[in-house]
Amino acid sequence: MLSVVASDLAADGWRVVSPSRRYSPLPVTDESVTHRPRWSRSYRRHRFGQGQAIWVEAHWDRPKELARKVENVLTAPAELLVVWVHESFRRSVLGVVEPLLSPTAPVVEVRSLADLTVPPDEPEPLLFGHPTQQVLLGAVSDLARPLGQDEIGEGVLEAVERALEGKPTSLHQIGERRPVVGH
């Protein structure tokens, strides 16, 4: 679901580990990344050379196995965590992934408004030692249509930029909840 984000980071020289159920290869060259935002990304200064996108088969309902598979392909502690996990697995997944992060790694956590009974007014980070940019996703865009992958990708990339600039923990919403229609 965050392939635009993973592709963009890999194209900018990041080594990206992408755990998911299904294999979906990501492009890693500048020419293959069609989504380019209008601003200059601060994380470009972190270019490490040729980027790489590594897929590992993982299931959120098996968090220890997910962490083991990710750890097997990491060459060093992760310098950034971008995660979108269903609410029911949020605590367990973030808990097992935290030891894989560098002590200063920022976190960008994507959450769905549809999964939350009451949307938070303040960020609710689980990894307190890591500054967290939380992104809340609605179902409907500001243009009164379903929220699209481009809007999601751009919003998450903006949060990545804030995270890598060292901004304090904050909460950002993209789109609105689906309106309730009465019968």
Q: What is the pLDDT of residue 45?
A: 44
Query: Could you count the other beta carbons within 10 Å of the beta carbon of residue 108?
Result: 26
Assign residue 12 the CATH number of its domain.
Answer: 3.40.50.720
Query: What residues contact residue 32 under an 8 Å CB cut-off, 6+ apart?
Result: 7, 11
How many helices (H) and strands (E) the chain has is answered by 4, 6
Rounded Cα gap, residues 152 and 139, in angstroms? 10
Q: Is residue 181 part of a domain?
A: no
What pLDDT digit, counting tens, does each position of 33-57 carry?
444 444 445 555 455 567 788 888 9
Q: Is residue 183 part of a domain?
A: no
Confidence of residue 181 (pLDDT cuts 50, 70, 90): low
Confidence of residue 95 (pLDDT cuts 50, 70, 90): very high
Q: What is the pLDDT of residue 111?
A: 93
Q: State mean pLDDT over 133-139.
A: 91
What are 65's two structure tokens? 């196995």
Rounded Cα gap, residues 51 and 70, in angstroms? 17
Domain count, the chain: 1
Instruction: Identify the bridge partners of residue 82 per DSSP, sorted by sequence position.
Output: 108
Rounded Cα gap, residues 102 and 113, in angstroms? 29
* Helices 3-11 and 149-164, packing angle to 10 deg: 50
pTM: 0.83
Rounded Cα gap, residues 139 and 178, in angstroms? 5
Residue % of the chain over a pLDDT of 70 = 82
Domain with 81, as residue range(s), is 3-174
Q: What is the pLDDT of residue 65?
A: 95
Q: State mean pLDDT over 70-97.
A: 93
Rounded Cα gap, residues 138 and 140, in angstroms? 6
Q: Is residue 179 part of a domain?
A: no
Is residue 182 helix, strand or coil? coil
Query: Could you count the other beta carbons within 10 Å of the beta carbon of residue 140?
Result: 15
- Tell me the chain's radius of gyration from C-alpha atoms: 16
